[in-house]
Chain A
C-alpha cells in the first residue's frame, strides 16, 4: 500500500493534483456511510464511491474543461456533507481517522492485489505519464491516448486512496499519497530519484508509524502521517536542486 501511494503520489504531485489527492479521499465517506447502513464492508463501500468519484471527475472535467482541482473540490464538499449525514459517532471517527482493527484475510488479499495492480500500472505507464504531464499535445502526437491515460491514472489514484482507508482513514490517506512525493520532489533531480525517494519515504513512514502506534496502543494513521510530515520538515533543511 505504501509503495503504491509513493508511486501514485509522485505523479499526482507532478500533475499538480496535490490538493485533489487530499480532497479525493473524502469522496469515500458517503460510500462508507451507505455500507454501514447496509451492514456490508465499509472498505468496499468507500472504494466503490471512490471509483464512481473518479469517473465523475473524469467526465465532468472532459465535458466542461474545468480544472481537476475545482471538480474534486466541489465533489469533495458534497461528499463530506452527504457522508456526515449517513455515518455518525464512532463509525464516523473510524471512517475519518482509520480503525485499529485487524484486516480480514479477504480484505488483506484484495488489498495486496489492488496495490500490485496500481504499482504495475504506474511503472508500465511511467513514460506516457511523464510525456503527458510535460505536454498533452506532445503526448498525443507520440501515440499516447491521453484521455484514456488520464482516466486510468484517476482510477489508480482512487484505488490507492481506497487501499489506505481502513488503515489511515478518509482524512489522512491523502497525506500518505502527497507528503512522501513532496519530500522526494525536494531532493530528486530526475524521475527515478523522485519515484525511489517517494516510495522510500512512504514505506519508512508507514513502517515506523505502525510500530510507534503499536507501542503507544493508539491508531496508526496519525503516527504515519506525523512521521511523513517530520521527514518533510527535514527535507526543507536541504536546499532545493538548482
Chain B
C-alpha cells in the first residue's frame, strides 16, 4: 500500500443527518493533507472517524499497516483542580509507547515547553501551554501519522510559525504524514500538499493551487472569501 490512508465512499451519520456524505480521498505516505471548511462542515467528525472514535455509517477507511497515530483534539475541557500534572500525562504516554527519557526531552524542546511548566496541574496551564503539551504528547511514541485539529489555536504568532516548521520537518525528515484541520488559508497554502474541502454544497480535493480557486472557496463557505495569497519567497 503506497498510500498511508485510503477512504472510499465514507458516510458518517450523527443522529438523523449525514455530517459526511460519500467522501473518497487518499493520502500518499509522508504527505500533508489540510482539511478545510466552514464551522459545522464535519472536519472534526472526519478526524474522529479516521481515528476510530466514531463508526462510519458506510464506506471504508484503510490505514497502512503499522500506522501509529499522534492526535491533537480541537478542544479539551479540563477541570482546573484535576490533580494531574503535565509530567503525569507525558510519562503516561511514554510508558504506553515505551518511549525513553530522551524522547520526552526532545518532544518538549520541539514544542518549546519549559520543564517547570510540567509540574503544574494541567487544568491550570494557559491555553497555549496546554496546546504545546498536547502536541508534545502526540509526538511521543514516534507516530507515523499526525492528526492535528486546529493545532495553532491559542498559540502565539512565533509559536505558530515554529509549529508549522516542526510539522514540515517531521514530514520531510521522519516521513510522518500529517492531517491538519485549519481555518488559516495561508497555512494551508504553505504547508499542505493536498487540501480536502468539506462544504455545504460540494467537496474538493487536490493540491491547494488547483483545488482552492476563489469559486471553490465561495462555494464551500457559501459566501465570498477574500484571500490574498502571500508569495512564498517573501517569507
Q: Taking beta carbons and an 8 Å cutoff, which residues of A are in contact with B?
A: 14, 126-128, 130-131, 133-138, 140-144, 184-186, 188-194, 240-242
Contact yes or no, B84 A14, CB < 8 A? yes
Give A98 to B82 CA distance when docked, in angstroms. Answer: 32
Q: Does B76 contact A (CB under 8 A)?
A: yes
Give A127 to B138 CA distance when docked, in angstroms. Answer: 15
Q: Which residue of B lies closest to A197 (CB)?
A: B83
A241 proximity list for chain B (CB < 8 A): 81, 83, 121, 124
Give A139 to B96 CA distance when docked, in angstroms. Answer: 10
A134 proximity list for chain B (CB < 8 A): 76, 78, 84, 89, 122
A128 proximity list for chain B (CB < 8 A): 92, 96
Q: Does B39 contact A (CB under 8 A)?
A: no
Contact yes or no, B121 A130, CB < 8 A? no
Contact yes or no, A191 B124, CB < 8 A? no
Partner of B89, one of A130, A189, A193, A240: A130
Q: How far is the CB of A129 from chain B (nearest CB, A)?
A: 9
Q: How far is the CB of A89 from chain B (nearest CB, A)?
A: 44
B78 proximity list for chain A (CB < 8 A): 134
B48 proximity list for chain A (CB < 8 A): 137
Q: Taking beta carbons and an 8 Å cutoff, which residues of B are in contact with A?
A: 48, 51-53, 68-71, 73, 76, 78, 81-85, 87-89, 91-93, 95-97, 119-122, 124, 134, 137-138, 141, 147
Q: Which residue of A lies closest to B70 (CB)?
A: A141
Given pairs A128-B92, A134-B78, 16 additional interface contacts (CB within 8 A): A127-B93, A135-B73, A137-B73, A138-B137, A142-B141, A143-B97, A189-B83, A191-B83, A191-B84, A191-B85, A191-B88, A192-B88, A194-B83, A194-B84, A241-B83, A241-B124
A194 proximity list for chain B (CB < 8 A): 83-84
A131 proximity list for chain B (CB < 8 A): 89, 92-93, 96
Secondary structure of the B contact surface, majority rule: mixed
The 6 closest A-B pairs by CB, nearest first: A141-B69, A127-B92, A141-B71, A188-B83, A190-B85, A194-B83
Give A188 to B147 CA distance when docked, in angstroms. Answer: 33
A141 proximity list for chain B (CB < 8 A): 51, 69-71, 147
Given A131-B93, A137-B71, A140-B53: A14 in contact with B82 (beta carbons within 8 A): yes
B147 proximity list for chain A (CB < 8 A): 141
Give A133 to B124 CA distance when docked, in angstroms. Answer: 16
| A/B interface sample: 11 pairs, CB < 8 A | A128-B96, A130-B84, A137-B53, A142-B93, A142-B97, A184-B83, A189-B83, A189-B85, A189-B120, A190-B85, A190-B119
Contact yes or no, A144 B96, CB < 8 A? yes
B134 proximity list for chain A (CB < 8 A): 138
Q: Which residue of B lies closest to A138 (CB)?
A: B71
Q: Which residue of A lies closest to B85 (CB)?
A: A190
B121 proximity list for chain A (CB < 8 A): 189-190, 241
Q: Which residue of A lies closest to B47 (CB)?
A: A137
B141 proximity list for chain A (CB < 8 A): 142
Q: How far is the CB of A241 from chain B (nearest CB, A)?
A: 6
Q: How far is the CB of B53 from chain A (nearest CB, A)?
A: 5
Q: Which residue of A lies closest to B71 (CB)?
A: A141
A193 proximity list for chain B (CB < 8 A): 83
Q: Which residue of B lies closest to A240 (CB)?
A: B81
Partner of A127, one of B73, B83, B96: B96
Q: Which residue of A lies closest to B145 (CB)?
A: A141
Q: Which residue of A lies closest to B52 (CB)?
A: A140
Q: Which residue of A lies closest to B93 (CB)?
A: A142
Q: Which residue of A lies closest to B147 (CB)?
A: A141
A188 proximity list for chain B (CB < 8 A): 83
Q: Which residue of A lies closest to B121 (CB)?
A: A189
Contact yes or no, A127 B95, CB < 8 A? yes
A184 proximity list for chain B (CB < 8 A): 83
